[in-house]
Structure 1
Amino acid sequence: MTEIDYGQFHEWLQQARSAAEGGTTGTANPAGTTGTTGTTGAAGTDVRWELLRRFQEGWGYEPTGGERWEREEPDAHKTYVSGLRAGAGAGAGSCDTPEDDEPRDVDPSLAIPAALGEWWELPFNSFADRWRLYWTNPVWPPTVRPDPTGYGVAGGLPPANPFTGPSEDLRVCVFMAEDQYCNEWGYPAARSHLADPPVLVSARDDDGQEAWVLQSRSLSEFFLLLAVTRLPAHYGWTVEEGTIAPEVLARLREKLRPMGLLPWRELGARTEFFGGPDVIVAHDTGYGDSELVAYGRTEHALERLAGTLGVDWSESICEPESHREEE
């Protein structure tokens, strides 16, 4: 197996960003499948999708060629909740009314960013292919927050926020949610005309208040970050540490390099990623279950990292979950 140094990931990501910034300008396609607009063009997202493909392949993912999660697939949780509400309404004596042709939580006047449609169509989309590895729920078409139906719990952006200008639309278009809908990911409605807009997450900010926080600089980078948070946990050798000593953290920051991704925010966690030869380390500065989780493409890579950090993982390294699939 050829070694991959994830200490270089920041450079790979920066190259992709530079290509995106040099992309062509065009018109957004409301269907979200083709076309470009704003400062991010198809050439740039192509480079980012290639980085996603390489990352997935490096950790052992291969397209199964089987059933895929189609973007038009009904949201089972939303259907269930809507059924409960309809039942409660009927019990109270309300009359049945036909559903609108267009869901009231979707604003058809807003373009769907091209990158979102491109991601769904990727032949190597590991989420669509192996969604059970991800523990998230896709939302298609994207729905707005505040949600006029009351289903989505997050609100819109406050008037004073760093993501929109004066008099711009304060709504957020949600396209993905945590498995239990504790967090939602979306892009500002005011940026829906861009091909690859920034992504926000509904989470607690640094002051502990519920807010929309920047999650990724673009949609395509979000899906790369999502793969980083999920795939090594399934395909890699793993070590978890509930807490780590300050000197271990100091060695981590000295010996490994930040991967250049924004901190992943989910279920109270605020996770930063560091890369090295055949290893990725997730360091949580929030309220996750473990302060440190290390993933190795090989068991030897984690043993080598343990020596680098001055810790003993001889009894702690767990084999990949993917190995049990092969048994």
Structure 2
Amino acid sequence: MAKIVDYGAFADRLKAAPNRWDVLREFHEEWGYAVRPGSDRWDRWTEDEHETYVRALSGEPRDEDGLEGVDLALPIPAALDEWWELPFNSFTHDSQHYETNPVYPPTVRPDPSGYGVAGPLQDDSDLVAPDADRRVCVFMAENQYCNEWGYLAAEAHDPDPRVLVSVDDDRWALQARSVSEFFLQLTVQRLPRTLGWSAEIYDGEEIIDGDEDDLRARITERMPELGFEPWAELQQDTIVYGGPDVLAFVADGELGGIAFAGRTPRAVLDLAERLGVKLTEEDLTEPGEY
């Protein structure tokens, strides 16, 4: 990792990128992720599941086959299938980093099978026209289904539609400007804190040194955001800020939380020094194995 990556410039990098898959591949490489030779892969579906889906699309009679929540009239956006096939995809090879469950093929909300927990897009949302289809097609969920992520049924024909997240009171909020950006954002949330050097500065109960509100203010003033929508999960929103080889994760909500993750221990310690936080290498969590 001789070359320093300035994540303070990530938002501009995101705007300039022709597509999100290139940035996703680069991000994997920057944090030291590589698919291990011979590792197993999580496929979208088994051969039997695919056959069932194709038969259902053709209108052939079918028994109870697990597709009750799937609207076969809605296409699956191309970006979702592209993500499953990415050769460097850390989710499909090492899903333990993610604490989420894929839903494939996507199922609609409200779910006619009764399995999905969220409802349709709320009536007062301005994310679609008043007379548009207000169902949401869910393709990923937090392990306990506390949050679900999906695209609007009204935008299912878009190759890379916007992504919504289920939040409090069965409401949906915008999570990402596209499916491909969602998967990049999910990776940013997960990989650095498992594959990088990390430190929990504030975990909802105590802070290593100094006042939490003051630290939040210093991060906001001195570090640029990465350019994503706030990450909504487990009743809190997290904004990620960037610096040389380092990221700062700042969450609001009842749990709160501030964490640093760096490509090197020096990057984390340098950030702490710039922000007035007393850290030593003994305070850092080493990169985990995968």
Q: Same fold (TM over 0.5)?
A: yes
Residue in 2 aligned with 1:62?
34
Q: How many percent identity over aligned positions?
A: 48
For residue 293 of structure 1, the aligned residue among 249, 255, 259 is 259
Q: SS at the partner of 1:177?
A: strand
171, 178, 185: which one aligns with 1:218: 178
* Residues 32-85 of structure 1, C-alpha deviations (whole Å, 9 max, x = no match): xxxxxxxxxxxxxxx2100000011100100123111001159xxxxxxxxxxx
Q: CA deviation at 1:102?
A: 6.8
Partner SS, residue 258 of structure 1:
coil
Q: CA–CA distance in 2 between the matches of 1:219 and 1:153?
A: 21
* Partner residue, 1:254: 221
**In the TM superposition, what is the alpha-carbon distance from 1:265 to its structure 2 partner?**
1.0
Corresponding residue number in structure 1 for 2:272: 306
Measure, in 2, the Cα distance between the counterparts of 1:254 and 1:182.
32
* Equivalent residue in structure 1 for 2:45, among 53, 59, 72: 72
1:316 corresponds in structure 2 to 283
Letter in 1 for 2:180: S
Distance in 2 separating the partners of 1:121 and 1:13? 22
Residues 163 and 188 of structure 1 are in contact (CA less than 8 Å); yes or no, is this contact kept in structure 2? no
Corresponding position of 1:52: 24
**Partner of 1:272 in structure 2?**
239
User: Match for 2:151 among 187, 195, 211?
Assistant: 187
1:316 is displaced (CA, Å) by 2.0
Structure 1: gaps spanning 5 or more residues: 20-46, 75-97
Secondary structure of 1:143's counterpart equals strand
Letter in 1 for 2:258: L
**TM-score normalised by L of structure 1:** 0.78
Distance (Å, rounded) in 2 between the aligned partners of 1:102 and 1:267:
28
Q: Which residue of 1 aligns with 2:59?
A: none
For residue 14 of structure 1, what is the aligned residue in structure 2? Answer: 15
2:193 counterpart residue number: 233
Q: Relative to structure 2, which stretch is displaced further, 190-199 or 98-107?
A: 98-107
1:144 aligns with 2:116: no
- Structure 2 SS opposite 1:271: strand
Q: Which residues of structure 2 form unaligned runs of 5+? A: 48-61
Q: Bigger shift: 242-251 or 258-267? A: 242-251
Deviations, residues 156-215 of structure 1 (Å, cap 9, x unaligned): 1123312211221111000000011111100010000101111001112xxxx4311111
Q: Distance between the aligned counterparts of 2:187 and 2:135, measured in 1?
A: 27
Compare 252-261 and 109-118 and name the one that shifted more.
252-261
The within-5 A match list for 1:164-203 is 164-203=128-167
Instruction: Tell whether the 8 Å contact from 1:271 to 1:286 is kept in structure 2 after alignment.
Output: no
Quote the Cα distance in structure 1 between the aligned partners of 2:105 and 2:93. 19
The corresponding residue for 1:127 is 91
What secondary structure does 2:118 align onto?
coil
2: distance between equivalents of 1:157 and 1:246? 34
CA contact (8 A) 1:157 1:172 kept: yes
1:159 aligns with 2:123: yes
- Kindly indicate whether the alpha-carbon contact (under 8 Å) linking 1:270 and 1:287 is maintained by their aligned counterparts in 2: no
Q: Distance in 2 between matches of 1:186 and 1:257?
A: 28
Aligned Cα root-mean-square deviation (Å): 1.6
CA 1:308–1:236 in structure 2 vs 1: closer, same or farther (change >3 Å)? same
| TM-score (ref. length: structure 2) | 0.88
2:122 and 2:172 in contact (8 A); partners too: no
Alpha-carbon distance between aligned partners in 2 of 1:99 and 1:137, rounded to the nearest angstrom = 25
Aligned-partner Cα distance in 2 for 1:258–1:101? 44
